[in-house]
Amino acid sequence: MNQDTLKQQVAQAALEYVPEGQIIGVGTGSTANFFIDGLAGMRERIRGAVASSDASARRLAGHGIRLFDLNEVEELPVYVDGADEIDASFAMIKGGGAALTREKIVSAVARRFVCIADASKKVEVLGRFPLPVEVIPLARAQVSRAIALLGGRPVWREGVVTDNGNVIIDVHDLRITEPLKLEESLNQIVGVVTSGLFAHRPADVLLLGTAEGVKRFER
Ligand code: 5RP
């Protein structure tokens, strides 16, 4: 079974977590795209969605799903999104698609975070996937030096500008045994907008696509 089939299956399974008549939070990436396409089939049954990126907003709108600004919404019953890595405590690395900041903001407002991922994303220790960090452009070199002091190898994702007009630094060579602490340390660096480490807001539900079918885990 290829990775796309697994992504499609978890995206389909996530539709069960969408409550009727409500506004839901929607993530970004190829797995989230499968979810958005599935959501199209039930668009009459939801009020609409808050998107975590311009790309997801365009895809939702293309399916005729009404978009809401997060400022219009006090709480979301559910946020559905993929991940680049997820560990046993449901802490995640996200931001492979450079949408980490809006993903973190939208998921912070959600009662439940449903992570949809193929089996390759489940890891013992986070860090093999380079950790994305969104940075104010002016602060790129300074933030890179500070990240190197934390033990990572920062690499500027050249040519990429986020939806918020910032740049991405991918941090290689990390072995993240204390995700909560690292997230806090990164947040302390002046010029960092957000890190792609989701430890303080981990997933609540993990739908994992495996060759044996979709496995469900709850925190
Ligand atoms: C985008 C993300 C995505 O959720 C993450 O990169 C996973 O992407 P995909 O579903 O394409 O494997 O964080 O910023």
> What are 57-75's pLDDT values in tens digits?
999 999 999 999 999 999 9
Does residue 29 have a pLDDT over 90? yes
- Whose C-alpha lies nearest to ligand 1, atom 7? 83
Does residue 1 have a pLDDT over 90? no
Name every residue whose Cβ is closer than 8 Å to that of residue 171 and which is 6 or more positions away in sequence: 130, 131, 132, 133, 147, 152, 153, 154, 155
Please give the number of the atom of ligand 1 that sits closest to the Cα of 196.
13
- Whose C-alpha lies nearest to ligand 1, atom 6? 96
The pTM score is 0.97
DSSP category for residue 125: S
Q: Kindly report, residue by residue over 104-132, the tens digit of the pLDDT.
A: 999 999 999 999 999 999 999 999 999 99
CA of 84 from ligand 1 middle (Å) equals 6
**H helical segments located in the chain:** 3-14, 30-40, 54-62, 100-108, 140-149, 179-187
Looking at the chain, the whole-number percentage of residues with pLDDT higher than 90 is: 99
Q: Residue 83: CB within 6 Å of ligand 1?
A: yes
Q: Does residue 72 carry a catalytic annotation?
A: no
Q: Residue 97: CB within 6 Å of ligand 1?
A: yes
Query: What is the per-residue burial (b if ≥16 Cβ within 10 Å, else e) of 125-154?
Result: ebbebbbbbbbbeebbeebbebbeeeebeb
- Whose C-alpha lies nearest to ligand 1, atom 5? 83
CA atoms lying within 13 Å on the CB side of residue 98? 17
Q: Residue 132: CB within 6 Å of ligand 1?
A: no
Angle made by CA atoms 181, 91, 73, in degrees to the nearest 5: 105
103, 124, 178, 218: the catalytic one is 103
- Quick one: pLDDT band at residue 19, thresholds 50, 70, 90? very high
Looking at the chain, the whole-number percentage of residues with pLDDT higher than 70 is: 100
Contact 174, 112 (CB under 8 A): no
Specify the pLDDT at position 218: 96
Q: Residue 202: CB within 6 Å of ligand 1?
A: no
